Structure formats: C-alpha cells, structure tokens
Amino acid sequence: MRRCGGRESWHRLREWDKGQSESERLAARLLPSDGYEGINPSHPLGGPDGGEDIRCKKEGKECIVAVYFPRGQKAFREIIEKYKVDLHKAITQQVSVFVFFTNQELSLGERHELENLSHSLSSDIYHLERIASALDAPKSYGLRLEFLSIEMTKEEQVSFFNERDQVLYELLDRLKKISDKKKDKKGIATVFVEQLHQDLPLSTILNSKLMECKNCGEIFRAERSMFPSLTAFSGTLETVTCPSCGKVQAYR
C-alpha cells in the first residue's frame, strides 16, 4: 500500500536498490530543473570517472556532481568522509561549484557542516528531503514513475493537468500580446546581419529568418547580405540590431 504525504518517494529513495548507474541518471535528469546545463555524465555504465560522476555548468560556472546513493541511512561520519573524498577530487579538477547528490537524510546543521568544508568552492547539496520534494512536484511525475515506479494519484493527476494548463495559458497570453503589438504595423521590418570581422571574405548564399528581440519583444526579419565582403567567416560573431529599441543580440 502506498504511503501518503510524500513518504513513499522519501522511503524508496532512502532504500535505493537500483545501483550507482541509475542514481547518476536520476541526478542528470533532475539537475536541469535548477538551472544546470550542459549535463555530461562521466561513466553512467561504470568505470573510472576521476572523481566526477557528472560535469555541468550553471550561470557559466563549471560544476562537478558527485552522486552518493547507498541503501539505507548511514551514520553521519560515513557521509562526511564520502563528502570529503569527493570534494577533494573536485578541487583538483579546478571547478567553481561542487554538487553533492545523495539519498541520505541530513539535518540543517549537518548540511551547514558539509558546506563549511568546501572552502573556495561553492557547494550545492541535494539531500533526501530535497530530492523527494522535487520528484513529488507535478513536472517531475514522469521521472518519479521512471525511477521509483510511483504512479500518479487522482489528486496528482489534477495537479499535473492544472500546471500544464497554466503553462499553456501563459504561452497563449504571450502570443496574444505579440499579435496585438503587431496589429497597427504594416509589416515586419528587415535588418541585415552584422559581423564582428567584416574584412574576412567568404561567399555564402542569401538567407534570412524571423527573430524576436530579447529586450522589447519586437518581431523582425534578420537577413544575411549576398555580398561577399559582408559575409560571415566561420567562428566569427554575427549580430543583429532590433529596429524598434536598438538592442544588439547574437544571430543564431
């Protein structure tokens, strides 16, 4: 019988029996929801990883993730020893952030004690309660089913569809605002792509695409020049200028 109030997820995480590879996959799937990107697992199928289970970035900073998922609750002295070993390996990799992803229950004081060991590195600890709460959020019901085999209750189905509908409403509202903004305009403005190094000759064909200004939301057409002297050299920065507010942004 399923435990209520999130206790089922909490219990299955603590009594993890799926091995190291699956725990690393779970970490890799949860990290993007907190702004981590460029997720790169080291050896999800086993093998030496040099002390880094996952490498990634957050806000431009290099991060190393260590995953510790033993079965059952361990004594804090064992947890802190594992943390120290993985932290030392992270320091030798010269990264900015050390992420410790564990299914162990940690009190607030214990978390602070671990964080104080990090010295020059920023630390981010995913402990049992934090992971269970993330998996019990509507956007993670699929992950919870995949890794913990916990299906949605009727109440959770309502929450899931409510959240999905909210996202759709927000998208529709944004599209409506863009549409209303364009109603009084005769057409879409066209701007030419600018290059950082305009003296690098390389022929290309004329091409264009619609872009949205990241500052004011203006929709405009960005077009590459057909003239060789204005074409982009591979690896150079191409930019466009919004015809409405003048913001310069990358052409991608």
- Do 116 and 218 lie in a common domain? no
Task: Give the pLDDT confidence score for residue 228 in this predicted structure.
Answer: 45
pLDDT of residue 21: 92
Domain assignment present for residue 2? The answer is: no
**Residue stretches of the chain with pLDDT short of 50:** 197-205, 228-234
Model confidence pTM above 0.75: no
The tokens 């299906």 sit on which residue? 151
Asked if 112 and 164 sit in the same domain, the reply is no
Domain co-membership, 86 together with 117: yes
Q: At what angle do helices 141-148 and 19-30 cross, to 10 degrees?
A: 180
Look at residues 134, 162, 182 and tell me which one is the last residue of a structural domain.
182
Q: Angle at CA 220, nearest 5°, toward 177 and 179?
A: 20
- pLDDT tens-digit series, residues 55-71: 999 999 999 999 999 99
pLDDT for position 14 = 96
Q: Which pLDDT score is estimated for 75?
A: 97
Q: Which of 128, 150, 172 is the last residue of a domain?
A: 150
- Domain of residue 65, residue span: 7-150
Q: Are residues 142 and 21 in the same domain?
A: yes
